[in-house]
């Protein structure tokens, strides 16, 4: 087995320029503990340089050794290989033994000599000196002390400013971005059905109270009104007729009362005549006359009973006539109500604005057939307020009447003044469609929010487009 080529390859790697450079670096790291030593030399086209001194915070001197290995190669161009090491606290000075030791370490490579310049040496008992001098060191210490004082003073000023800002601008206030504008929203719907004959408003138009919004074709309702009025006239005629019949019946009652008086008088005369004939006896009058007088007396009494029955009948007719009058009067009232309802229906064909505001969500068009209760448009009045959902932990010092500064996202450069109107009794989740039920399942405590109503001090807010649903950020001064 031939091992010579392997030995040559190993020797070639061992004595290559890069290998020798790393060996120099490793050795110098072990030996360069001197203070103020500078090594400069040339090693087969490689430049070696070492370094400067620096002082640590504790006052110990440290040798910062920098090796710069650089070789100029025409084919590959210039390149540099740097090794930097900040090492070992310096406790001794490097002498000329360093150069001798380097020469001994590389004596086995006669083909590759490493010339190193003699190092500057100092006696072991020489006083240590900083490269910058004692004067420069004292100046650096003073500058560091001054910088430390400035840093402490700056920190104190910043802390005081932060504390003042927190005390005057953060601590006395409570704010939230979970807040929106709210207001009345009035849906407009017709009360009668029909075809829209006229549409007087457009989208987002300002309207006044009582202003015409749209009109439904009124001809059907005008005809119904005419019919209702005719029915009312007929009812009034029936009422007059019933009243006249009542007067006739009442007159019959009076007549029957008079008939009763005549019948009673005739009956008394017949009875007296019969008694007188009976008293005279058969010596003066015949028996037939006595019997005739008795018959006439009984007939007169019967006529009295007939007259009494007739007056009862007449009185009953009077009561019937009174009932007819009341029925006719009720019919008149019913027809009057029908007339008023028809007049209302006719008036409902004109849909007017119930309040001042702005038209929104208009869905009706001219010529469309609408039904009662159908949403046609919405009017939003100018009266608005803020509903802010504060955390329950923010309500500790919050009371009605406290001043509020309101920032509207639509107008970032303006702020509005207001005050707390009321605080809802209960969280918003409690009045939701599905309120939480903490008695079932696993319980996780969740920070609740409570709605707070805030009103503007300036209720007009003219010239601004503000409406329900817009985002605001209220800031309440609670202290």
The SS3 call for residue 386 is strand
**Structure letter (DSSP) for residue 459:** S
260-300 per-position pLDDT tens digit:
777 777 777 777 766 766 666 666 666 666 666 677 777 77
The angle at the Cα of 238, spanning 237 to 244, to the nearest 5 degrees, equals 90
**How much is the average pLDDT of 324-349?**
93
**Structure letter (DSSP) for residue 118:** P
pLDDT higher than 90, residue 450: yes
pLDDT (0 to 100) of residue 70: 40
Q: Where are the domains of the chain?
A: 4-123, 132-171, 174-184+378-477, 219-331
Supply the mean pLDDT for the chain. 75
Asked if CATH classification 3.40.50.720 holds for the domain at 219-331, the reply, yes or no, is no
pLDDT higher than 70, residue 38: no
Q: How confident is the model at residue 107 (pLDDT cuts 50, 70, 90)?
A: very low
**How much is the average pLDDT of 339-365?**
94
**How much is the average pLDDT of 250-259?**
78
**How much is the average pLDDT of 61-70?**
40
Cross-strand pairs, 62? 54, 89
**How much is the average pLDDT of 104-109?**
44
pLDDT higher than 80, residue 397: yes
190-217 per-position pLDDT tens digit:
999 999 999 999 999 999 999 999 999 9
- Hey, what CATH topology would domain 174-184+378-477 get? Elongation Factor Tu (Ef-tu); domain 3 (2.40.30)
**How much is the average pLDDT of 168-189?**
89
In this structure, are residues 242 and 320 in contact, taking their beta carbons and an 8 Å threshold?
no
Distance CA 17, CA 109 (A): 12
- CA 72 to chain CA centroid, nearest Å: 75
Comparison of pLDDT for 276 and 439, the residue scoring more: 439
pLDDT higher than 80, residue 356: yes
**How much is the average pLDDT of 349-355?**
94
- CA 18 to chain CA centroid, nearest Å: 74
Question: CA quadruple 219, 221, 226, 230: dihedral positive or negative?
Answer: positive
Residue 152 burial (CB count, 10 A): 10
In this structure, are residues 274 and 298 in contact, taking their beta carbons and an 8 Å threshold?
no
Nearest residue to 353 (alpha-carbon basis) of 183, 204, 208, 186: 208
Question: Rounded to 5, what percent of the chain is helix, strand, coil?
Answer: 40, 25, 35
């Amino acid at each position: 087995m031939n091992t010579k080529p392997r030995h040559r390859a190993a020797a070639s790697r061992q004595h290559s320029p890069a290998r020798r450079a790393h060996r120099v670096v490793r050795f110098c790291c072990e030996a360069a503990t001197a203070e103020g030593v500078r090594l400069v030399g040339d090693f087969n086209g490689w430049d070696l340089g070492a370094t400067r001194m620096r002082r640590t915070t504790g006052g110990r001197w440290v040798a910062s050794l920098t090796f710069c290995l650089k070789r100029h190669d025409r084919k590959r161009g210039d390149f540099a290989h740097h090794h930097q090491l900040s090492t070992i606290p310096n406790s001794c000075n490097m002498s000329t033994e360093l150069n001798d030791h380097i020469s001994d370490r590389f004596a086995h490579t006669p083909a590759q000599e490493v010339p190193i310049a003699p190092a500057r040496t100092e006696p072991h008992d020489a006083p240590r000196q900083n490269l910058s001098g004692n004067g420069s060191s004292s100046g650096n210490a003073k500058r560091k002390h001054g910088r430390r004082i400035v840093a402490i003073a700056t920190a104190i000023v910043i802390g005081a400013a932060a504390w003042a800002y927190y005390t005057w601008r953060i601590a006395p206030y409570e704010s939230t971005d979970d807040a929106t504008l709210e207001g009345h929203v009035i849906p407009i719907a017709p009360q009668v059905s029909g075809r829209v004959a006229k549409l007087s408003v457009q989208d987002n138009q300002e309207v006044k109270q009582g202003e015409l919004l749209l009109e439904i074709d009124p001809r059907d309702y005008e005809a119904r009104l005419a019919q209702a009025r005719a029915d009312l006239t007929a009812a009034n005629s029936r009422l007059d007729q019933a009243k006249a019949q009542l007067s006739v019946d009442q007159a019959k009652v009076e007549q029957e009362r008079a008939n009763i008086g005549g019948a009673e008088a005739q009956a008394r005369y017949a009875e007296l005549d019969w008694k007188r004939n009976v008293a005279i006896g058969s010596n003066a009058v015949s028996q037939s006359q006595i019997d005739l007088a008795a018959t006439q007396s009984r007939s007169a009494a019967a006529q009295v009973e007939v007259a009494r029955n007739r007056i009862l009948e007449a009185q009953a007719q009077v009561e019937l006539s009174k009932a007819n009058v009341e029925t006719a009067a009720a019919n008149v009232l019913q027809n009057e109500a029908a007339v008023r309802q028809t007049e209302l229906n006719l008036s409902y064909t004109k849909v007017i604005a119930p309040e001042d505001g702005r038209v929104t969500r208009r869905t009706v068009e001219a010529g469309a057939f609408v039904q009662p209760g159908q949403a046609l448009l919405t009017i939003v009045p100018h009266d608005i307020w803020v509903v802010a959902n504060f955390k329950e932990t923010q309500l500790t010092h919050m009371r009605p009447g406290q001043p509020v500064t309101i920032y509207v996202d639509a107008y970032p450069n303006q702020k509005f003044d207001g005050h707390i109107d009321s605080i809802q009794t209960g969280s918003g989740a409690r009045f939701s469609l599905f309120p939480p039920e903490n008695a079932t399942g696993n319980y996780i405590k969740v920070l609740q929010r409570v709605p707070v109503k805030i009103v503007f001090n300036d209720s007009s807010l003219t010239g601004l487009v503000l409406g329900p649903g817009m985002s605001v950020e209220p800031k309440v001064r609670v202290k």
